[in-house]
Amino acid sequence: MAPPSNVHRCLLQSDALDAVRSWTNEIASWPAGSHVWGHYAEVTDSGPAICRTENVSACHGGYSGLVNGLLRDVAAEALGQPVTDFKDKINYKQPGGAGFRPHQDVVAYPDAGTVMSVLVAIDDCTEESGCIWLADGITTVLETDDRGVVREDIATELNWYPVALAAGDAVCLDGFAPHFSDANRSREQRRVLVASYAATDEHYTRDHYYSARRATMSSASGKDGRFRISTLADFAGDEVAPDRIANDVCTHSPI
C-alpha cells in the first residue's frame, strides 16, 4: 500500500535529528522510577531495558521547545485548528523489545475530545524493527477487551498496513486511528517520540491528563495487581516495577 498522506518525510533535518538523538541518549540513562511522570523498563533477554519515558518535555528544555514548536504546528495543520499539548513520551524499543497491541489512543485519554498525535522516528522504523501499523477509515471507538485494547476478533477484520519511517520522518495519528507495533526483531534500537495535542477550545490540559492518568493507573493496578506503563494494558512485554517511584519530584538530574 502507498504511504499515507499524513506522513511527513524529513520533518527533522540532520542537525535537529542529531540533537534529538543526543537528548534521548541522556534521558535513557535516567534510573527507572526516577522521573515523576514515568520512566519505565521492560524485561528482555539481555536484562532490563528502558522502554518508555512519559512527559519528558517537563524536565527537558530541548524536548519542550520541539513539542511546543514544530510538532505543535504539524498537529495544528493536521487538525485544521489551534492545538494545546497535553502529553508526550519516548518509546524505546531495544533489540528484543516488545511491541503494543492494537488500540486507539482516545480510549487512553480520559475526557479528551478531538486529539492528534505526532509520532517522530528517532531511528529508522522498519517492519523488522517494529514500526507502527495503522488501520484507516475508523471514526468511532471500537469495542475493547478487559485490557483496554481492540477486541481480537475486531482487530483481525481491520485493514492494516505498515508505516515504515526513516529517522526524522513523522506520522500524524488522530485519536480514533487503530494502531499496533510488533517486537523489535532487528539488531538496532527503534526509538520514537510521540507528542499528543487536543483542540485548544476544548481546554484539555497536561495537568488534567496526567492527574487522570495517575489515578487510572493506580486503580487498574489495584484491581489486577499488575504494574503497567500506560493507562491501557496494551504493552505486549513484561514491565519491570521499579524499587522506588518518584511521586512528587524527579530524582534524576533534569537536563
**DSSP run (H or E) holding 198:** strand 190-199
- Where do we find the cell 533534569? 254
- Residue 226 domain-assigned? yes
Lowest mean pLDDT among 46-55, 115-124, 168-177: 46-55
pLDDT at 2: 46
pLDDT at 59: 86
CATH number of 53's domain: 2.60.120.620
d(CA 163, CA 190): 13
Lowest mean pLDDT among 45-49, 94-98, 119-123: 45-49
- Residue 227 domain-assigned? yes
Predicted confidence (pLDDT) per residue in 33-69, tens digit = 899 888 999 998 888 899 999 999 988 999 999 999 9
Buried b (16+ CB within 10 A) or exposed e, 68-101: eebbbebbbebbeeebbbbbbbbbbbbbbbbbbb
Q: How many domains does the chain have?
A: 1
Averaged pLDDT, 234-254 = 85
Percent of the chain with pLDDT strictly greater than 70 = 97
- Residue 131 domain-assigned? yes
- Residue 253 domain-assigned? no
| Domain encompassing residue 31 | 7-235
pLDDT at 247: 79
Averaged pLDDT, 13-18 = 96
- Residue 1 domain-assigned? no
Predicted confidence (pLDDT) per residue in 134-162, tens digit = 998 999 999 999 888 999 999 999 999 99
d(CA 163, CA 244): 37
Predicted confidence (pLDDT) per residue in 236-245, tens digit = 999 988 888 8
